[in-house]
Amino acid sequence: MRVLVIKTSSLGDVLHTLPAVTDAMQQKAGIRFDWVVEEAFAEIPAWHNAVDEVITVAIRRWKHRPFQALRSGEPQAAIRQLRRRHYDQVLDAQGLLKSAVIARLARGPRSGLDRDSARESMAARAYEHRFAVARNQHAVQRVRQLFAAALGYPLPDGTPDYGIKAHFHVSMRQPYLVFLHGTTWPTKHWPEAYWLRLAAMATAAGLQVKLPWGTASERERAQRIATADDAIEVLPRMSLQELAAVIAAAGAVVGVDTGLVHLAAALGTPCITLYGATDPALIGTLGESQLQLRADFPCAPCQQRKCQYPDEAAVFPACYSTLNPDRVWSEIEQMLAQPAATDPV
């Protein structure tokens, strides 16, 4: 059986789909997958050994320069690749109009979420088989339920298996921490002074700290944090493959609500994720050795991009005043004291 999975973005959403692929591989003998994904995340599906072909699209880029995209021939080439094979099942795990269009272009019976379950209800009209999946549960579990219903097997119990740890086999974790300090919303950012203090605690304990970055402002923040000690390293710009290897070998990761913390979860790397404005209940890290620390503040989680707290506060965003470096360091110490787990060969 060959299935086309459509899950184009974002980083966290693509990672959240991996456990469902593992479920299907374990439940349906001989099943194989192709996967349609945005170019920025094209490395991820290939890490799973049940995925054969990755079909790359660039919808985010194409929609900003449609005429240039058509002249380049990229969309036409992607459609030809999409239609090259007839699939036993075309499974849209995204539930958006753009993913529904991709499903319609592919060859094979189409399945997806019903109108009450999809993020954009009109998307359901593109599918021949529609499935109800309750919204009030974690994103990983929702995708696992969709795959089980569409492909016809009982939903497995237990901790999700992302199926990519073996790709980044680690024989022993290394004595460094990775700080995932970059994110999009201003209200998700942990105060820079807190990162500086936490880095000082880590280096005083004999640990190295590694700081990845993705934008110019993130690189500048990383450079400011790194001035505190020679044991703090600002990493060069890396591909997802390269960064995943760094995260896989880390003693632990500390991060804000960003897609890369889900990469740590998928790799089974011990990770502490800091939540202020956002709620981890439906989209938090899920997997072994994952700890979610939530700000204990009257207006948290506010789910707002801009902090609306009306009074003076010691830090910004105000909710993080209840989630300080001392508390985070205490949890890191406990996490590092646990027996180190290694990946299967």
pLDDT tens-digit readout, 88-137: 999 999 999 999 999 999 999 999 999 999 999 999 999 999 999 999 99
Tell me, yes or no, whether 176 and 325 share the same domain: yes
142, 176: one domain:
no
Domain count, the chain: 2
Residue 122 located in a structural domain: yes
Residue 100 lies in a domain: yes
Residues 171 and 120 in one domain: no
Cα 146 to the center of its chain, rounded Å: 19
Could you give the CA distance from residue 74 to residue 57 in angstroms, rounded to a whole number?
Answer: 8
Rounded CA gap, 287 and 275, in Å? 17
Considering 151, 182, 198, which residue would you say is the last residue of a domain? 151
Instruction: Say how far apart CA 206 and CA 279 lie, in whole Å.
Output: 33
Q: What is the pLDDT of residue 37?
A: 98
Alpha-carbon dihedral 327, 281, 17, 58, rounded to 10 degrees? -80
Choosing from 151, 186, 217, the residue where a domain stops is 151
CA–CA gap between residue 43 and residue 151 (Å, rounded): 25
Same structural domain, 174 and 296: yes
State whether 145 and 100 are in the same domain: yes
Triad 133, 136, 138: Cα angle to 5°: 85
Residue type at 79 in one-letter notation: I
- The reply to whether 88 falls in a domain is yes
- Judged on CB neighbours under 10 Å (0-12, 13-18, 19+), 80 is exposed
Strands (DSSP E) contained in the chain are 2-6, 32-38, 51-57, 89-92, 110-113, 129-131, 174-180, 208-211, 232-234, 250-256, 271-275, 290-294
Question: pTM, whole model, 2 decimals?
Answer: 0.94
325-337 helix and 192-204 helix, angle to the nearest 10 degrees: 40
- In a shared domain, residues 178 and 135: no
Residue-by-residue pLDDT tens, the chain, 345 positions: 999 999 999 999 999 999 999 999 999 999 999 999 999 999 999 999 999 999 999 998 999 999 999 999 999 999 999 999 999 999 999 999 999 999 999 999 999 999 999 999 999 999 999 999 999 999 999 999 999 999 999 999 989 999 999 999 888 899 999 999 999 999 999 999 999 999 999 999 999 999 999 999 999 999 999 998 999 999 999 999 999 999 999 999 999 999 999 999 999 999 999 999 999 988 899 998 999 999 999 899 999 999 888 888 888 899 999 999 999 999 999 999 987 654 443
Q: Which of 151, 184, 218 is the last residue of a domain?
A: 151
In contact, 91 and 128? CB cutoff 8 Å: no
3-state secondary structure of 310: coil
Shared-domain flag, residues 264 and 288: yes
Please indicate, yes or no, whether residues 46 and 139 belong to a single structural domain of this protein: yes
Are residues 188 and 180 in contact, defined by beta-carbon separation less than 8 angstroms?
no
- Please tell me whether residues 145 and 207 are part of one structural domain: no
Residues 40 and 175 grouped into a single domain: no
User: Rounded to an integer, what distance in angstroms lies between the CA atom of residue 101 and that of residue 62?
Assistant: 15
The reported pLDDT for the residue numbered 67 is 95
Residues 88 and 191 in one domain: no
Domain assignment present for 157: no
Do 127 and 245 fall within a single domain? Answer: no
pLDDT at 343: 44
The CATH code of the domain that includes 242 is 3.40.50.2000
The answer to whether residue 113 is domain-embedded is yes
Q: What local confidence, expressed as pLDDT, does residue 339 receive? A: 72
Q: Is residue 342 part of a domain?
A: no
3-state secondary structure of 36: strand
pLDDT, tens digit, 9 for 90 and up, residues 276-319: 999 998 889 999 899 999 999 989 999 999 988 888 888 889 99
Within a domain: residue 169? yes
Domain that holds residue 93: 2-151
Residue 313: inside a domain: yes
